[in-house]
Structures are given as structure tokens and as C-alpha cells.
Amino acid sequence: MKRFLLLTLLFPFLSSAQEYVDLFRMGYGQTFNNNFEGVDSSTNVTFFDAGLTFPVVLNENHALITGADISINNVQLFPKAVRTNLYSTNLKLGIASTWSEKWSTTIVLLPKIASDYKNISGDDFYMGGIALLKLKKNENLKYRFGVYASQEAFGLFTTPILGWYYLSPNKCFEMDMSLPISADVSYKYGITTIGVDYFGIGRSYNVHYKNSPTLYADLSSLEFAGYLQFNALEESVLLRAKLGYSSNNYEMYAKGDKMDLGVSAFSFGDDRTQLNPSLNGGFFLKFEAIYRFHIGGNSKVQNSNNK
């Protein structure tokens, strides 16, 4: 399970059905307790993420996608060690296109810098991207097929994406699935929404220690949560509280210690030597805020960009 991944704020590109786009997202949370395996030591993980997405309409059938995301995780990487901030900052540049009433595509480049931001160099820069093909089955159901790939400190990672988006005719029940990366099922009651979601995260960060060789942290985590959401200002501002379980694990390796290939949950040619004890998962609490822009209208470009 350890190779499930995606950058935290790719959701605007993974779904398309409703006539809206999430322009800004922000979240802050913390795990309650994570124990190191085999030793009497524990830590917790605090995390912050924010993302901006700004689509620019080029013509009736094409729109430019721009934006940026940042995430910050604070954690002890070794038992009883000082806490370390791990940063991941990526740009988003791509294009969303509508080719017919049924078919549309989204292609986005995702260059990023991922490290503890000490002595930043070209080694901390990685290139990634995502490509999606979307099929509109009817007004309430859309399918998506795609692939995500990225350079990481441990080597090349790629995963297929298979999913669908369903919105009930009364616009209350919603399913947003992008497997094996994410799943979200919710029901709206007036100004409140209750739901459950799953998110598979995988990232790597270069970590620099004074007078020591550079290491890297290989993060893998599966998050399962229930949430309560308040829909404010005509559903333009969404405030969400989440409680769930996350299998956080930050494995430390020497720089240059790589695998041959990571594909979804599978690793090929992985004979790396882990330098720290594995970290057990724990329960977490997270608060999120989303600014959602309701587009309206029937433009083909709008429908290719929205959720």
C-alpha cells in the first residue's frame, strides 16, 4: 500500500461535472500520536497545505490552467530527534480542452521543489505531470481515465487513474472517485454536508543534516476520514472539519538509494536500506477552507474545467 500517491491539491483536475471550480483551498491538521516501531518513542505530525488554481479561458474549447500549491509537514524523522519541517511547493501549468459533447481532456505539468528548504539546489527539483481523459455519460455521471507520473528522490513513480463523478438529480448525493488515489462520498442537508473520504499520499523530500550526508524522507500515507462541512455564502465558502485515521510513515534513506520503478502500490527493484524505525499511523483532526467559484452558463470550456 505504501506507493499510493498524489500531490495534495490536484483535485481540481481529477473531476468534472458541477459548474464550479475551487479557486483556493487551505487546510491545517495534526495527528494525535504516532509511535516508532520497536523503540519507546513517539511523535505527532502537524501539516498545513494551501493551493491556488486559476483557469484562463482561451476560446470556446480550450482553457489554460495555472496555479501553485504548498504543503508543510512538521515531524520527528528519528526517535527523540529534533522536529523537521518538510516542504513541497509545486506550480501548475496545463490546458483543459473539450473535443465533443462527450469527450474532454486535461493535461497539467507539475514541477516542484521538495525538501527541508536548507541548501536548496537542483537536486531538490522534480518534474511531474498528469493527463486525464474524461467521458460524459450523461448530465449526472462522468468517467475519467488517466495517468500521473513524477520524478522523486527514490526514482520514477507513476500510477493509473480510474474514476467517476456522480451527482444525484436532486444535487444532494455526490460521489467523486479517482482510484487508487482518492474517494469522496457525501450528502448535502441544506447548508451542511456530511461525508467520508479516502486519500492516498506519497511524496519524497531531501533532508540536509549538518556535517552529515544528505538523506531523503519517503512519505507514504493512506488517510480515511469522516467530515462535517458548512456551506456558507451560497456555497461559495466551504468550511470543513475532518476526523480520521492516517497511516503516516516517513522512511529515511541515503541520497542515491533508489528503486527501479514505483507503479501505484507496487515497487520494482526496491532493495533500499531504511535508516530509521517505521512510524505507525494515528488518528488525526483537520480543518479545511475552500473558496468555490460558481461558473454558470453552458460554455464547453467551463464544463471542461469545472468539477
* pLDDT score recorded for residue 1: 37
Instruction: Write down the residue that cell numbers 531538490 correspond to.
Output: 124
Identify the pLDDT of residue 264.
60
* CA distance linking residue 182 with residue 196, whole number of Å: 11
C-alpha cell at 256: 542515491
In angstroms, the CA 148 to CA 110 distance is 10
pTM: 0.85
Q: Give the pLDDT means over successive 10-residue stretches in the chain (307 positions).
A: 35 47 93 90 93 91 94 94 94 94 94 93 92 93 93 88 92 91 92 93 87 87 94 92 92 88 67 92 95 62 40
C-alpha span between 283 and 30 (Å, rounded): 9
Of 191, 188, 217, whose CA–CA distance to 204 is shortest?
Answer: 217
Per-domain boundaries in the chain: 11-305
Determine the pLDDT at residue 222.
86
